[in-house]
Amino acid sequence: MSFKAPRDEAQPKVQSERDAATGDWSFAAFDALSDGVILISDALEVEFVNRAAASMNGLDGQAVTGMHLSEIVRQSSIDWTAISEAVEVGKKAEIFSQNSNGRPFLTSLRTVRGRDGRNHSILISQRDLEVFDHIRRKATSGHSENTFRFLNDRGLRPDFARQRALSTELDNVLSKGERAISQGARVLLLGESGVGKTEVARYLSHFLNEKTAPFVHVNCGAIPESLFESEVFGYERGSFTGALQGGKRGLIEEADGGMLFLDEIGEIPLTVQAKLLKFLEDGTVQRIGTGKPKAVRVKVISATNRDLARMVDEGRFRKDLYYRLAVIPLEVCPLRRTPQLIGHLVDRFLQLINQRRLGRLDISPTCREKLLSYAYPGNIRELHNIIQHLSVSAERVADVKHLPDTVLLENAAGPDAERAREDGSQYAALKERVRAYELQIIEDAIARLGSKRKAAEALGVDIGTIVRKTQTRH
């Protein structure tokens, strides 16, 4: 990557190599900054970009050098509309912008003049305001925060704009979902555990509503059957022993004016399904302890990893409720069927974890190759856990040795198994291969049944065995 700094003809060209071999480390030092740095020539071409800037904008740092400004505007995940206008007129500016997930960035533009006073470049610095706010809070709190506060980070929201460009399957799901939601049709999201059904539902909710509108996620499998009706529909004061003095709004009322996401819909108790059906039919909700229904304006998306049609045939799910929910069924593909997303997700998770890490983590080419060839029975959630595992296990560079055993064993059972047979090492690896097969059966049971407890019951083992045998995933 070359860095054509403003210079006269007698000044030698400076190369921004990522090492000290050139004898001039000053430009490579920009990679140590948490702020993004980009240099644009007077011909509106990229002369230099540091790692932070490439990561913030979702760009390939090596391919971006020499790229025209218009390509940056088109490819970046950050809105460059106002930035590009300021660059073209060559003026000093401070610009607030957001990426496709609403993450805020502050971009500063400064003109850098050459020694001849005529040629100039535009120096652009970009700051992730969420990261800056995190650093500010950490510096003023007097104590260290959790470096790996990862799962609950709002920045973990997927970059669907980029993913749609990579995956035709995902683009079709989102396009059909957008049309369905716009026309008021209910959507049933189908797919294995960990494929991102919740994020698809959240995206469709924001597509239809303002981001300030409620998005109420109801995990139907996590609410005890005895509490399901009171939690979902609410109750009036004095309805039962232990009821709050002022009563309580149910989750459906909490979603009024927004989206109700019924996750794991197949877990809803049969005894409550009739009341849910009434709400879907007439748009009213009736709290426990009152005979007066209340009208609510709520859109509904549901999701399941179970075969609802089969449950209907077996009498475990109401047929009329099924047809109310499954107006537009959409299957979110497992990660093994959309391998083109794996590289993007690896980079995305790595980018996010590096914003919280004290030292930058890189992934070696051989380790990346293993990640790209793995089947991910736990889908996107498992990939996220693996990257987090690497961040904890490795200091600066994650290599194959830092990967969880589940990744290494599956790869060993794939193309590498042929080479293993040639040298007889398959006999030494028998125990590991049996373990990998056993884990695959357990993972499949969890994915089909929706929980480790149910998988344990189906496989005839105790829950402790399931937890112990799957803990390497985490």
pLDDT digits (tens, 9 = 90+) for 48-63: 888 888 888 887 766 7
Structure tokens that stand for 95 in this block: 């610009």
CATH number at residue 362: 1.10.8.60
Q: 120 and 247 in one domain?
A: no
Do 280 and 421 share a domain, yes or no? Answer: no
Using one digit for the tens of pLDDT, what is the confidence trace for 313-348? 989 999 999 999 999 999 999 999 999 999 999 999
Question: Which has the higher per-residue pLDDT, 335 or 424?
Answer: 335
Q: Give me the pLDDT at residue 14, please.
A: 34
**Is 251 a domain residue?**
yes
Q: What proportion of the chain, given as a percentage, has pLDDT over 90? A: 34
pLDDT at residue number 225: 80
pLDDT band of residue 383 (cuts 50, 70, 90) is: very high
- Exposure string over 357-388, b if 16+ CB within 10 A, otherwise e: eeebbebeeebbebbeebbbbbbbbbbbbbbb
| Rounded mean pLDDT, 243-252 | 78
Place of tokens 């042929």: 418
Strands (E) across 129-269 are located at 187-190, 215-219, 234-235, 248-249, 259-263
Distance CA 51, CA 347 (A): 12
Question: What's 93's domain CATH number?
Answer: 3.30.450.20
Residue 210 lies in a domain: yes
Looking at the structure, do residues 116 and 172 belong to the same domain, yes or no? no
Q: What pLDDT does residue 153 have? A: 43
Residue 237 has pLDDT above 70, yes or no: yes
Over residues 282-311, the pLDDT tens digits come to: 999 988 887 788 999 999 999 999 999 999
Q: What average pLDDT score do residues 199-228 get?
A: 87
pLDDT band at residue 10 under the 50/70/90 scheme: very low
Residue 200 and residue 111 share a domain = no
320 and 340 share a domain? no
Contacts of 169 (CB under 8 A, 6+ apart): 333, 337, 338
Residue 248, classed as helix, strand or coil, is strand
Residue-range definition of the domain harbouring residue 450: 336-473
pLDDT of residue 101: 66
Count the Cβ atoms, other than its own, within 10 Å of residue 473.
Answer: 18
User: Using CA atoms, how far apart are residues 299 and 213, in angstroms rounded to an integer?
Assistant: 11
In a domain, 406, yes or no: yes
Q: What is the dihedral of CA 213, 219, 222, 226, to 10 degrees?
A: 80
Please say which residue of 332, 351, 367 terminates a domain: 332
* Residue 82 clears pLDDT 80, i.e. is over it: yes
Q: Are residues 357 and 269 in the same domain?
A: no
Specify the pLDDT at position 428.
40
Q: What are phi and psi of 299, to 5 degrees?
A: -90, 150
pTM of the model: 0.57
pLDDT tens digits, residue range 215-233?
Answer: 999 998 888 887 888 889 9
Residues 341 and 304 grouped into a single domain: no
pLDDT at residue 209 greater than cutoff 70: yes
Query: For residue range 433-467, what is the model confidence (pLDDT) as tens digits?
Result: 667 777 878 877 887 777 777 877 788 777 767 77
- Note whether residue 227 is domain-resident: yes
Q: In this structure, is residue 161 part of a structural domain?
A: no
**Does 326 lie in the same domain as 259?**
yes
* Confidence tier at 145 by pLDDT (50, 70, 90): very low
What's the rounded Cα separation, in Å, for the pair 365 and 453?
Answer: 38
**The pLDDT value given to residue 150:** 38
Q: Which of 169, 211, 466, 206 lies closest to 333 in space, CA to CA?
A: 169
What integer pLDDT is reported at residue 411 of this predicted model? Answer: 55
Higher pLDDT among residues 43 and 20, named by residue: 43
The answer to the question of residue 122 being in a domain is yes
Backbone angle region of 90, left / alpha / beta, with phi > 0 → left and psi within -120 to 50 → alpha: left
The number of distinct structural domains making up the chain is: 3
Question: Is 413 contained in some domain?
Answer: yes
pLDDT of residue 431: 57
Query: What CATH number should be reported for the domain holding residue 310?
Result: 3.40.50.300
Smallest CA-to-CA distance from 79 within 63, 95, 60, 61 is with 95
pLDDT digits (tens, 9 = 90+) for 385-420: 999 999 999 989 999 999 988 888 765 544 444 443
> Is the pLDDT higher at 32 or at 429?
32
Q: Where are the beta strands (DSSP E) in 68-129?
A: 93-98, 104-113, 120-128
Residues 328 and 345 in one domain: no
**Better pLDDT: 246 or 446:** 446
Residues 77 and 210 in one domain: no
> Which of 284, 309, 332 is a domain's end point?
332
Q: Is the domain of 299 the same as that of 447? A: no
Is the per-residue pLDDT at 76 higher than 50? yes
Residues 321, 381 share a domain: no
pLDDT for the residue 245: 64
* CA 216 – CA 156 distance, rounded (Å): 18
Of 108, 134, 160, the residue that ends a domain is 134
**pLDDT, position 72:** 86
